Structure 1
Amino acid sequence: MDNENLNKPSNDLIGDILRNYEKTGGMDNLKGKGKPLPDEYFSGDVFQHFQKIAKDAGFKPHWLKLQHEIRDELKDIAEKYASGQKNELQFRVTKVNEKIIAYNKTCPPPMQKGTIRLESIEAASNRW
């Protein structure tokens, strides 16, 4: 191995973006600038504080967004199934099952749910 390759400076893409943003004045009018951080930010678990700050800022995890999409889609499919409009509902159920699989890969394990069938769409809609 060549010593030159070992001592190359690494690329810091996020750092570069932040420095450029700061140079253009993007950091001048941030909410809370110049105010001390609350003491609660320095006690306890760092991850829990991150979650609280993210929640306060309106951030929703991807799995929660998926959960809402699945719920709304199931409600619509159940309504159409109940009214007898069964055109292409099986295709929509297949697409919802793909979303459920993606949801199960990202959500906390106790929140995972099974895939659905068109015949049991009403019960699935109530579960979600």
Structure 2
Amino acid sequence: MSRDWLGDMINRDEKLKGMGKPLSREVLEGNVLDRTIKNAGYVPQWIAIQQDVRDRLGKIILLLETPSETDQLNQEIAEINILVKKYNSLCPTPMQKMLISLDQAKSQIKSWE
């Protein structure tokens, strides 16, 4: 390999898939970074927390329909509220949510969907 590594790369006769063909409209439109992040499967932390809160609220609603101890429910609500506070610190300001209360859990799950 010579010192001109870029020249060596250009001079290779490798044929790449799609070489010499025009780029598709998809590739040319939109934000390249956003598309790359989405294709890589990256999920921002605040969205992961949002999904976790939604799943936990669903479990609480199921527990509310069955006879269960309120201490256990209150402890679960407290843990969810810790996640809500973390979510609020990470998400964009217009997307911040209220803390969860046991009385309002059924109506509050709609805002987490």
| 8 Å CA contact retained: 1:80, 1:86 | no
Runs of at least 4 residues of structure 1 off by over 2 A?
A: none
Bigger Cα Rg: 2
- Residue 115 of structure 1: SS of its match in structure 2? coil
Equivalent residues of 1:74, 1:121 under 8 A apart? yes
Separation of aligned partners in 2, 1:96 and 1:66: 10
Task: Please give the per-residue CA displacement for 1:25-58, whole angstroms capped at 9, x wherever unaligned.
Answer: xxxxxxx9xx7xx673xx88xxx43222101111
1:92 paired with 2:80, answer no
Q: What is the root-mean-square deviation in Å for CA atoms of aligned residues?
A: 2.4
Quote how far apart the aligned CAs of 1:113 are.
Answer: 0.5
1:126 and 1:70 mapped to 2: Cα distance?
12
Aligned match of 2:50: 67
- Tell me which amino acid in the other structure corresponds to 1:55: K
C-alpha offsets along residues 70-114 of structure 1, whole Å, 9 cap, x if unaligned?
Answer: 000000011101222234110010000000010011111221111
Q: Which has the higher contact order (CA 8 A, sep 6+)?
A: 2
So what's the TM-score if we normalise by structure 2? Answer: 0.68
Q: Distance in 1 between matches of 2:106 and 2:58?
A: 8
The separation in 1 between residues aligned to 2:66 and 2:110, in whole angstroms, is: 17
Residues 124, 86 of structure 1: alpha-carbon distance in 2 compared, 3 angstrom cutoff: farther
Deviation at 1:60, TM superposition (A): 0.6
- Count how many residue pairs are aligned between Structure 1 and Structure 2: 89
TM-score for both structures, normalised by structure 1: 0.61
Task: Report what 2:94 is aligned to.
Answer: 110
